[in-house]
Amino acid sequence: MSSSKIKAASNASIAEAASLLADGQLVGVPTETVYGLAADATNPVAVRKIFQAKGRPANNPLIIHVDSPESARRWVHVDHPPWLADQWQRAAAFWPGPLTVVVPRSADVVDEVTAGAPTVAVRVPSHPVMRSLLAACEFPIAAPSANPSNYVSPTCAEHVRQGLGDKVAMILDGGECECGLESTIIRLRSDGVELLRPGGISVEQLQDAFGSVTLSQAAEKNDSRQSDPLAAMPAPGMLAKHYSPSKPLRIVDDWRSDEIDPSRVARIVFAPLADSEAARFGWYRSLSQTGDLNEVAQHLFTAIRQADTTGCELIVIDRCERSGIGRAIMDRIDRAAG
């Protein structure tokens, strides 16, 4: 593993990444949400390497990334019935962007991608480097988040190197991810959409576009499927314990300062504490100067990773209202708290 695998995005490095992918190799790639572990989605051998590298259960399907809603059409069946064609149009209006849509798959999708499911998850990412890479590839890109299974998702190239540096041929550096949380995942339904994972596109935005948003059981944290990993999995990655640092993490109002001395606590806040208050903690990071939740989302995973490498015993983190991007922030924090 060496930092030389990280290459700043340029025409040359993007062309090199495209040719490594065409050759069946794995590449770490930037998206606006989190970094992905990319492979040629049409190459079953390459797709299997993703599962091996991440230690990911084979029954947990992957998202395919395409450069436009039009290029998605070869991989999906969305022309009939008419309500589906209509919902697909509404979803496509969010692209390019942090929305993933689960729809019936075409026979051309390789089984390894969908884990045998009759559906496929599709997304058109907006990150300019990822868009150039997709333009340079003659195939869609299968990519889960580029972290070992169950660890925190990577939001910069260095995170990918730390977790999977010896498993990838190259890491394309596109800077810090703008969104910082994974995409919103929805299933299209005749009566609206079902939310499988909250993310960069808010429930309020989905309500405006689709009228009705059903919160699926899978999007709720305490999901009983966790006790039976082989059960049918409507949103298989949504396990209650996920995105976890190795140190215990607690939401601030579940923590009493007489329980563990603050000097042994890594404290993550959404807006700065007074200096005297901050100084009580063993380690301290504020995710935004003003409590802006988009900034909180962007810096959340980096701060959790940093807190995880301190000598502190416990990570204690703020909470926010579950609306807008706040819903996705609290979803990830709940899962990290386990």
Binding site for ligand TXA (CB under 6 A): 31, 33-34, 36, 60-63, 100, 102, 114, 117, 119-121, 123, 143-145, 182-183, 185, 196, 234-238
**Nearest to Mg ion of 112, 318 (CB atom):** 112
**Nearest to ligand TXA of 314, 333 (CB atom):** 333
Between CA 174 and CA 128 the distance in angstroms is 8
Quick one: three-class SS letters along the chain?
A: CCHHHEEECCHHHHHHHHHHHHCCCCEEECCCCCCEEEEECCCHHHHHHHHHHHCCCCCCCCEEECCCHHHHHHHECCCCCHHHHHHHHHHHCCCCCCEEEEEEECCCCCHHHHCCCCEEEEECCCCHHHHHHHHHCCCCEECCECCCCCCCCCCCHHHHHHHHCCCCCEEEECCCCCCCCCCEEEEEECCEEEEEECCCCCHHHHHHHHCCEEECHHHCCCCHHHHCCCCCCCCCCCCCCCCCCCCCEEEHHHCCCCCCCHHHEEEEECCCCCHHHHCCCCEEEECCCCCCHHHHHHHHHHHHHHHHCCCCCEEEECCCCCCCHHHHHHHHHHHHHC
User: In a 10 Å sphere around its CB, with 0-12 CB exposed, 13-18 middle and 19+ buried, how is residue 275 labelled?
Assistant: exposed
Tell me the closest approach of the beta carbon of residue 311 to ligand TXA, in angstroms.
30
**Nearest to ligand TXA of 50, 266 (CB atom):** 50
From the list ligand TXA, Mg ion, none, partner contacted by residue 31 (C-beta under 5 to 8 A by kind): ligand TXA
Tell me the closest approach of the beta carbon of residue 36 to ligand TXA, in angstroms.
3
**Nearest to ligand TXA of 140, 234 (CB atom):** 234
**Contact with Mg ion (CB under 5 A) among 119, 145, 202, 244:** 145
Q: Is residue 100 a contact residue for Mg ion (CB under 5 A)?
A: no
**Nearest to ligand TXA of 110, 196 (CB atom):** 196
From the list Mg ion, ligand TXA, none, partner contacted by residue 96 (C-beta under 5 to 8 A by kind): none
- Identity at 144, one-letter amino acid code: P
From the list ligand TXA, Mg ion, none, partner contacted by residue 286 (C-beta under 5 to 8 A by kind): none
**Nearest to ligand TXA of 29, 330 (CB atom):** 29
From the list Mg ion, ligand TXA, none, partner contacted by residue 192 (C-beta under 5 to 8 A by kind): none
Tell me the closest approach of the beta carbon of residue 303 to ligand TXA, in angstroms.
19
**Nearest to ligand TXA of 235, 293 (CB atom):** 235
Tell me the closest approach of the beta carbon of residue 206 to ligand TXA, in angstroms.
15
Give the CB-nearest residue to Mg ion.
Answer: 145
From the list ligand TXA, Mg ion, none, partner contacted by residue 236 (C-beta under 5 to 8 A by kind): ligand TXA
User: 305 and 152 in contact (C-beta within 8 Å)?
Assistant: yes
From the list Mg ion, ligand TXA, none, partner contacted by residue 123 (C-beta under 5 to 8 A by kind): ligand TXA
Stretch that binds Mg ion, among 5-13, 142-150, 194-202, 294-302 (CB under 5 A): 142-150
Q: Catalog residues that contact Mg ion under the rule CB under 5 A.
A: 145
